[in-house]
């Protein structure tokens, strides 16, 4: 069956009878074929969440005609609806400091086709990773944070000029300004090198070592104004022991950080995440 267009529909609305049937009927009426569907109901908030992957073979089926078909349901079901069309390539900006493992991993995955996006630029408060970006022919922008206001304006200018859809903080060791966070709400993914909510803030491996933990982890989450408190997308852990120095924890943690961050970025790009009540619901 030849496919002319595809879309992912993210649905959020008050839970009620008939939602799935009415959505499926509207999709059918436009000539759509449901390739995959997953749903979840939050009983604590009485909210229905669903991800639907749809394809069309009818060349007369357009984005406008599909939107018109859904409009009656949006009102009657109180739908909070997002339609992500498959043809659109997302533009990604990566913020880094000095650690290179997460940056390398993202660049390799994108180059090999595992991340469906365009990495438009790398922004850093240091020059250490300029050569890494150059090897992948990615523009590198050094923006020191000596003047926080000037740095924020320059960062925002670059993000706007490049039509950035997603910002990835790949071990960017600075606090992102509230203005940037509000401009890219639920579109900034940070990797924190601990199993949140444990050891938020600076030097989490040092904190973990002092507490003598037996597991260390990494957490990918959407950035919010409150530090390390945004909706958690993905986490991973690895076992450690009293024999491990802080340097050993750092070394072991790097593998988890790159894996967890890559999964979170891929799920975002594939529109598998709905944020509800400060929780990221991930339809894997």
Active-site annotation, residues: 228
- What is the Cα–Cα distance from 283 to 273, expressed in whole angstroms? 6
232 contact partners, CB below 8 Å, separation of at least 6: 196, 219, 220, 221, 279, 280
41 contact partners, CB below 8 Å, separation of at least 6: 15, 47, 48, 49
181 contact partners, CB below 8 Å, separation of at least 6: 188, 223, 224, 225
Is residue 182 within 8 Å of residue 152, measured between CB atoms? no
- What is the Cα–Cα distance from 193 to 202, expressed in whole angstroms? 9
Strand order across the beta sheet in which 5-14 lies: 32-42, 47-56, 5-14, 80-85
Strand locations in 59-214 (E): 80-85, 90-96, 117-124, 140-142, 166-169, 188-192
According to DSSP, the residues that pair with 93 across neighbouring strands are 121, 167
Task: Give the DSSP H/E element, type plus range, for residue 282.
Answer: strand 279-282
């Amino acid at each position: 069956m030849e496919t002319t267009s595809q879309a992912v529909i993210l649905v959020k609305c008050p839970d009620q009878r008939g939602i799935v049937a009415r959505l499926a009927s509207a999709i059918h009426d436009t000539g759509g074929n449901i390739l995959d569907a997953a749903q979840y109901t939050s009983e604590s908030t009485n909210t229905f969440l669903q991800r639907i992957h749809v394809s069309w073979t009818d060349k007369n089926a357009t984005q406008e005609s599909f939107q018109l078909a859904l409009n009656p349901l949006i009102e009657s079901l109180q739908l909070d609806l997002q339609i992500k069309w498959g043809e659109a390539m997302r533009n990604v900006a990566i913020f880094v400091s000095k650690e290179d493992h997460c940056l390398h991993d993202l660049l390799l995955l994108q180059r090999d086709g595992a991340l469906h996006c365009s990495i438009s630029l790398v922004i850093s408060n240091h020059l250490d990773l300029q050569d890494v970006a150059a090897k992948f022919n990615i523009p590198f922008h050094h923006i020191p944070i000596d003047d926080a206001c000037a740095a924020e304006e320059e960062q925002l200018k670059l993000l706007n000029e490049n039509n950035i859809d997603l910002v990835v903080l790949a071990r960017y060791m600075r606090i992102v300004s509230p203005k940037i966070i509000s401009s890219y709400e639920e579109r900034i993914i940070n990797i924190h090198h601990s199993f949140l909510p444990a050891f938020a803030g600076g030097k989490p491996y040092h904190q973990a070592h002092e507490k003598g933990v037996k597991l260390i982890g990494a957490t990918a989450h959407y950035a919010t104004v409150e530090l390390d408190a945004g909706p958690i997308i993905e986490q991973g852990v690895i076992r450690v022991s009293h024999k491990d120095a802080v340097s050993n924890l750092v070394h072991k943690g790097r593998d988890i950080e790159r894996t967890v961050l890559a999964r979170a970025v891929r799920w975002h790009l594939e529109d598998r995440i709905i944020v509800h009540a400060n929780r990221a619901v991930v339809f894997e």
